[in-house]
Structure 1
Amino acid sequence: MSTLGRLKQAYLALIPVYPIGYVLVHGFRGDQIWARPYVDRSSEEPSQQLKELVESELDKVDNVKKAKTNVVLTDEIEPKVFGGLFLTSGAELQFPHRVSLVDVEQARRHAANLELDLGLSKYRKKVEVNSAVGEELISRLMLSDAAKMFLVQRQLQIANSGEFFSVSPFFAWFGISAVGYGVFVVSAMTIGAVPAFLVATTFSVLVFRRFLGSFDDYKMKKADEITIRKGETYAQGARDYFDSSMKLNRLLRTVLGDDGETNIKKNGDCSLHSHVPFSTRRRLVDKIAAEVSATETSS
């Protein structure tokens, strides 16, 4: 077989890698060794109140029967979802520690062992709880009940969506890979098989990464919108959550010094957490709530 033929087979063999890897990470909810680099759980147990809130909010999700949920905590600032409510293995809902805090005393105990960072270990910094900064940190860690409701319902909406789970990413991956194969075949006629293989592979990976970034932004805003449209309680919870998170980030900007000033804007938006700033999502809350109110008034 020619070099071109072997490289064609190699390219085609690479196409299933992403779907298989995705299923391995999201399709199993145990402590599989292959998922550990992606599914980073905190060793601390979530509060009983958080577990009960998830069960309560699950009843408000449409088209869900006997769904399995595994509620855990994460050391990261933003929540994550692995798996799906429609899978036999269920969904894993990872929430930041602050969502699990019940009262100030619990927050104080949590903050006693807290090292602040921006999701990267190089930014980590210990904060003395018994100080003015420590007291302010404890205050800003707390979330309102409405904010917790919004966040939990939002994550459940993501966990219950086949589109968010795999449909769109899979179609995009196969489509981009097909285009990449065309690039490979055409390029091979001019620059040779090996350079064409490298060009096509790099093209497919970079374009797909760009798509995933855009899709994550869409998923984030769409999940916000779906949840906000469920009622004023969730709209107020969204306002509370974004306002509180930006307020917390403004404190982190001061506490973390140069690293904080580099990665967190004065208004509390953090470039490391999401491509969609909290301030943008906060403005969308009022826009969506106004649309809902106008619709209800006209009807």
Structure 2
Amino acid sequence: MTGADYFFGKKLNEKLNVPIGLIDISYVLATIATFLDKTTVLHTKDTSAIFSFKRQRHKEFLKQNINWEENGYQGKRPAYNPQHFPTLCFNGMVNPIIPFSCKIIVWYQDESEALSQISEQYVTWFGDYISMMRKKFKNPELPIYYVQLAGFEFPQDTTSISWAKFRISQEECLKYKNIGMATAVDIGINNNIHPVNKQEIGRRLALITLNKTYGFSDIIYQGPHISSIETKSKKLILTFDHTYGGLVSKSKGNTVTGFSAELNNGEILQLTGKITSKNTIQISVSNLKSIRYAYANYPDCNLYNNANLPALPFTKSIY
């Protein structure tokens, strides 16, 4: 069982005071396609992208194998990860448990797609996964709650923003019905793809579940979310919802870091903001093309609400 699963179940047990049954289905470096059944893989509108991804991984394996042979067969022979095959994990791990019922599904996977920079197609695939699982378990309202990727810096490529882009696609998945997202953007480790703070990830997933599935409407589970942007002279006024008692900076005073902007000339500018009310932040800047927050693989993010939940990353055009 994963650490996040354990702390998720522990939090539910503490609140509900009933035994919590968890079924762990996990496979390191698995792609979403491997958790789809054959019918879904063949009928998604992005089927070609799934098989293109598989071919890409196969080419990488062949290259690694050639290098291993040319280097005199030193070390272990490179392995082709079977969890990159479409349908494999569905057939081997999901299908056997379908006769059982489940209350919710928690989804904590995405690194493989983020690394391969296929975030646009992922929104479609995740929607197909949701539909497939609800059909398989014969529950059209089956809740599915997922984790937005934690911060991580690529040591081999510090200019990449693939994870930043992918988090935006993950948030887009909230458009699907009966869905919830727990962000881990603020609790990552710059040199470790797997964050060690599983307690907080499990807690945030449990907050969503308690509110949306078990009816504890007083439990806050959402962090600040950008709702509107207003330009005034040479200033931006950012308004947030889900502030629950007010915006909070984890830095001293009311200063908020982690903002950046793309200027009309293409230049990227790092910015700071100032909390000016319970739900607004002011930034002194002009001539912008877009404004961003926590838009980096390993972002600087110190904006929270009064319930100690972090603001979601965003990138917004300025018109």
Query: Structure 2 length normalisation: TM-score?
Result: 0.26
Q: Which has the higher strand share?
A: 2
Q: Which has the higher helix share?
A: 1
Structure index of larger Rg = 1
